[in-house]
């Protein structure tokens, strides 16, 4: 049965407490040969939107059938579902709170009809750490254990009750839209440098001459585009296409988030210079 699939971990637990180590210990008790890779444990506390983006940005860099265990779970112990999901190229294990919606949107777009997304609610306590799970640490008692069994070759359907993929929680985020004069979207993530990463992909920008307009104040701010952060003077705003293909707003040597005070979901507009 053993598959020895890779496991990744993504949480908001930080590294100063024992939580991450305990999850790894739970995995090792099931199969010490499983390879565990940390994506990050520095997701801002209870920030499901940040977890959604980081997992979406990372999952494609791992081999097929990797098991991604992600735990940012403000609803732990409530009636929110614990789920495991089989996608075309990976497995996802964690709370059903929208955390997986970024990966699912990409997998749904790429998957062939024969590789539709399947999901189960983790109701089979045989594959938990113990039959009585803590009401405050499902990362240890349910997700780490179920993920380890899945990586070890246990079929998805053995882990619990099948649920409809369409019923999985989607994090609500304004859609990117192409307009006659450019494109509109929103901030989907703020990284540790204060860069504002939007949900506008590079293929929605069809001109080489474009700017970004921020209209959340009385005086709209126009931000010029460039290729690199250093295409602007120190302290100046610039809009670029980042390494993952998303439009982002930065400050050369500073924090765009501090300057603009934008947050998740705030609107961003691309406008071609012919229309400025």
154 and 63 share a domain?
yes
- The whole-model pTM stands at 0.93
Residue 172 resides in a domain:
no
Residue that the structure tokens 């949107």 belong to: 105
> Does 44 map to a domain?
yes
Number of structural domains in the chain: 2
Within a domain: 66: yes
At 173, list the tokens: 């985020």
State CA 135 to chain mean position distance: 24
The CATH number of the domain where 194 resides is what?
2.40.30.90
Same domain as 22, residue 138 = yes
User: pLDDT tens digits, residue range 95-154?
Assistant: 999 999 999 998 876 655 556 899 999 999 999 999 999 999 999 999 999 999 999 999
Q: Mark whether 69 and 135 lie in a shared domain.
A: yes
Angle at the Cα of 165 from the Cα atoms of 162 and 168, rounded to 5 degrees:
100
The CATH code of the domain that includes 158 is: 3.40.50.10790
**What is residue 172's predicted lDDT score, i.e. its pLDDT?**
87
For position 275, what pLDDT does the model report?
A: 56
Dihedral of the alpha carbons of 54, 57, 62, 64, in degrees to the nearest 10: 110
For the chain, residues with pLDDT lower than 50 are: none
Looking at the fold, whether 191 and 162 belong to one and the same domain comes out as: no
Q: What is the pLDDT of residue 3?
A: 79
State the residue for tokens 């509109």: 184
Which DSSP string do the residues of 67-128 spell out, in sequence order? Answer: EEEEE--TTTTSSPPEEEEE-SSEEEEEESSSTTHHHHHHHHHH--GGG--EEEE---GGGS
What's the pLDDT score for residue 206?
87
Among the candidates 167, 186, 220, a domain finishes at: 167
Q: How far lies 153's CA from each of 30, 66, 74, 114, 148, in Å?
A: 12, 12, 29, 21, 9
Same domain for 122 and 25: yes
Residue 84: how many other CB atoms lie within 10 Å: 28
60 and 107 part of one domain: yes
pLDDT digits (tens, 9 = 90+) for 86-111: 999 999 999 999 999 999 998 876 65
Q: Of 108, 133, 167, which closes a domain?
A: 167
What is the reported pLDDT for 111? 55
Strands (E), the chain: 7-11, 36-40, 66-71, 82-86, 90-95, 118-121, 161-163, 177-178, 182-190, 196-201, 210-214, 221-224, 237-241, 246-251, 267-272
Q: Are residues 156 and 194 in the same domain?
A: no
- Domain of 244 in residue numbering reads as 177-275
For residue 20, give the 3-state DSSP assignment. Answer: helix
Same domain? 182 vs 162:
no
pLDDT of res. 1: 57
| Residue where one domain finishes, among candidates 132, 167, 202 | 167
Same domain, 132 and 263: no
Please tell me whether residues 33 and 105 are part of one structural domain: yes
């Amino acid at each position: 049965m053993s598959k020895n699939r890779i496991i990744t971990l993504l949480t908001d637990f930080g590294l100063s407490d024992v939580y991450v180590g305990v999850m790894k210990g739970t995995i090792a008790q099931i199969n010490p040969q499983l390879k565990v890779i940390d994506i990050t444990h520095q997701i801002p506390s209870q920030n499901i939107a940040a977890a959604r983006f980081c997992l979406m940005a990372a999952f494609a860099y791992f081999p097929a059938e990797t098991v991604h265990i992600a735990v940012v779970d403000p609803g732990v112990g409530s009636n929110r579902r614990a789920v495991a999901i089989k996608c075309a190229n990976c497995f996802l294990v964690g709370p059903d709170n929208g955390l997986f919606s970024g990966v699912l949107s990409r997998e749904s777009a790429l998957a062939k009809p024969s590789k539709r997304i399947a999901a189960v609610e983790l109701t089979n306590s045989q594959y938990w750490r113990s039959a009585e799970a803590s009401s405050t640490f499902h990362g240890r008692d349910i997700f780490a254990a179920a993920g380890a069994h899945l990586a070890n070759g246990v079929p998805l359907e053995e882990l619990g009750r099948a649920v409809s993929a369409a019923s999985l929680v989607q994090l609500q985020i304004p859609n990117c839209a192409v307009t006659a004069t450019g494109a509109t979207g929103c901030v989907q993530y703020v990284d540790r440098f204060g860069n504002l990463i939007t949900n506008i992909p590079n293929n929605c920008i069809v001109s080489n001459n474009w700017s970004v307009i921020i209209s959340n104040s009385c005086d709209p701010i126009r931000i010029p585009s460039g290729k690199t952060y250093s295409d602007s003077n120190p302290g100046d705003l610039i809009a670029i296409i980042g390494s993952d293909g998303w439009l982002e707003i930065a400050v050369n040597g500073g924090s765009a988030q501090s300057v603009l005070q934008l947050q998740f979901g705030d609107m961003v507009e691309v406008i071609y210079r012919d229309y400025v």
